[in-house]
Structure 1
Amino acid sequence: MTTGAESKMRRFLGKFGIYFVLILTSVIVVFPFYLTVLTAFKQPADARNFFLALPVKWSFDNFEQVLTRGGYWDALKNSAIITVIATFGTMAINTILAYFLGRNQHKKFFNFAYYFFIIGIFIPFQVVMIPLVILGKGLGMLNLQGLICMHIALSFPTNVFLMTGFVKGVPRDVDEAAMIDGCGPIRTFYQIIMPMMSPIIATTLVLTVLGVWNDFTLPLVVLQKDKTLPLFIYNYRTKYITNFNLAFAAYTLSMIPPMVVYLFCQKYIIKGLASGAVKG
């Protein structure tokens, strides 16, 4: 029989364990961000000091050099164009695809199509990288337009999985009521189902923006002349030395756009992830 003291001790240890894990996780997440911002404001002479030490003098010179260095604004423009178009294309295609897959998964063709798409989750990018480049070269798509198409195609597995799971959780009575009112499948989707999908759309939108904006490997193997921000930042690393001050200043600047997107969509993200991954 458990005494009152033992019960209190168990509750205390349970709370202590929870808070310990939360604090440890927070430190792991915040530490790289802290180090990035701290280094971005350091002058080159401060780099020889302890890496966690505050700057002797806070300076914006690193940011000024990054912004005035040739190629930054072109790289920013390319990253913005690729991210916006790829995200829009992904949302436009995957939402309606997930709706028809979720509503018709009892049919063999749609069930096969669903598993055909989500099996891509288990295939590492390194496996398809070389065939993708060979195919892109043969089609003349080793450029910005080809990169956008590849990003859209590679986003299918995760987005279809999350969105289809969400759609399967929406009662079919909604579709039947819309059909009685004279709505066809397309009109039902755009006027009724799509607004209900706003949490999972916001979630996949943020995941897509982060994935495309921060991607380094795919632009590296696809683009021949143009550069994105990750490729531009990579130029701060040479054979013999890495200019950490400028590189971290560029990292800090590159974090701003996705953070803005996340702040606008944050209230939908947890709800959308939970609904998309669990329902169905």
Structure 2
Amino acid sequence: MKMASINSYQLKSGETRYMFKLDHGINPSTGKSIKTIRRSFKTKKEAELAYLSLKLEAQNRTFQNKLVLVPEKRNKNNQDNYYTREQLLEFLSCCKKENNKMYYAFYRLLGFSGVRTNEAYALTWEDIDFENNTILINKSFSYGGKHANNLRAENWRIILIDSKTIDVLKEWREEQQQFLQISDFKAIQSKQIVFNNQKNGYLNVRHGQVWLDKILEKYDLKHITTHGYRVSHAQVLTEAGACSTGIQQRLGRSIHGVTTAKNIQSTEKIQMDTLQKLIEYMLHNKTISPDVRG
């Protein structure tokens, strides 16, 4: 995991200590850089953990302020409430610049899987199969709820995920584990919520839109809703030439009139074909950073 520059220095006694500087950005009132300096750490590891804790605390304050101060926006033109391939990749490129692994993992997952935001909120690490690159969707989180609700068995689905998205999730899991360690949370790893709040509980259901608005405003991108972001996945799959059955399987929509024995037997092949078309189509744009394309 990339850390801030941890520097060592010597005390008069000859002992080694460690320090770091955390840049919080520019104060809009003064135009000056805001920095926090911490020193006197006996080990480099201790300094790294302190840096991570301070960084996450600052990010959490930003999230909470946004939840209170930013009014929810809506795309008035519902017909245009989605991103094209180029717009989706540009958004993810901007999101990556925020240097927030949970931000990026959340939107990378939504953009490349088509899961609903309330399904993403409910995910635990045991739902993600890192060996087979799949995600099990079997629960969701509703507005005002405190616990995830299990979906009916017939609404469960398994989504194949590209290897780059899996890598992004692994990076976030590594940082999350360090946060849990320094925060002294006694979480069971397999049951751990993937996208957790500062108290290691479920996120507020408005977080998805708040995060989205923050990035769209900062980088002057086209405004869409979180639902429109999900529609974007269906849009790029359609543009990529994926079949309707494959798209419906990923999005979790019912397939009226086409659920035959032949279709059930070919489900795995359809899933593989759909994912392959998605990967090839998203990789076709050579103007976007390879780190985002995968």
Fold match by TM threshold 0.5: no
TM bracket, shorter-chain basis: under 0.3
User: What is the TM-score when the length of structure 2 is the normalising length?
Assistant: 0.23
The structure having more radius of gyration, on CA atoms, is 1
User: What is the TM-score when the length of structure 1 is the normalising length?
Assistant: 0.23
Greater share of helix = 1
Greater share of strand = 2
Instruction: Say which structure, 1 or 2, has more relative contact order (CA 8 Å, 6+ apart).
Output: 1
